[in-house]
Amino acid sequence: MKTLKDLFLNELADMYDAERRIVKALPKMADAATCDDLKGAFQAHLEETESHVKKLEQVFECFDHKAKGKTCKATVGLLEEGEELAAAFEDSPAINAALIAAAQKIEHYEMASYGCLHEWAGLLGNEEAAGLLLEILEEEKAANEALSALAIASSNQEALGESDDESDEDEKPSGRLQKAVATSSR
C-alpha cells in the first residue's frame, strides 16, 4: 500500500526535476527579454532556483533518500509553451508580457506543489524538511509578485503599443482597459 510518504517522495522527485529544468530555461528567458528589469529578475531567480535544487537535495537527505528526479511533465509542458510564446512574440512589443505570463504559469505550478510538499513534510513529522520547503515556497511567491509588479509597471503597457498604424500616439487606453491589463497579469 502506498502512503503519504510515498506520495511526498514522488512529488519531491517531480519538483527536483522541475527546478533543474528551470535552471536551464531561465538564461534563455533572460536573453529573450528586452527589458533590463525583467532580464535582472530572471537572472536573480536563476540564483534562487539553483539554491532550490540544493535545498531539495537537503530535503531528500532529511528523509534518508538520495536526490533523484522524475520527469515533471507539467514543467516540460509549461516550458515548451513559454518557448512557443517567446518565438511567436520575439519581435513584438508584447515579448516581455509574454515572457512574464510564461514565467508566472511556472511560478503558480511551483507554489501549488511546494504548498503541498510543505504541508506533507509537516504531517510526516519532519520539521527540517518542512522549513526548507517553506523557504522555497516563500521565494516562489516573491518571484511571482515581482513578475506581477514588472507586468503592471511596464510590460503590459508596452504590449498595448503593438499597432504600427496608430492614429493618435498620445491616445491612452481607457481606465477600464488599464485595469484589465493590470489584473490579467495576476
What are residue 27's phi and psi, to 5 degrees?
Answer: -60, -35
- Find where cell 531561465 sits: 26
Which pLDDT tens digit goes with each residue over 23-45?
Answer: 999 999 999 999 999 999 999 99
Per-residue pLDDT band for 180 (boundaries 50, 70, 90) equals very low
Which pLDDT tens digit goes with each residue over 99-133?
Answer: 999 999 999 999 999 999 999 999 999 999 999 99
Q: How far does the chain reach from its first CA to its final CA, in angstroms? A: 40
What gap in Å lies between CA 35 and CA 48, rounded to an integer? 20
Class of the 4-159+173-184 domain?
A: mainly alpha
Burial class (CB in 10 A: 0-12, 13-18, 19+), 26: buried
What gap in Å lies between CA 139 and CA 145, rounded to an integer? 10
**pLDDT tops 70 at residue 162:** no
Q: How many residues would you count in the chain?
A: 186
Candidates 69, 58, 89, 92; CA nearest to 21 is 69
HSE-up of residue 147 (Cα within 13 Å, Cβ side): 29
Q: Where are the domains of the chain?
A: 4-159+173-184
Which pLDDT tens digit goes with each residue over 130-145?
Answer: 999 999 999 999 999 9
Candidates 168, 18, 154, 175; CA nearest to 95 is 154
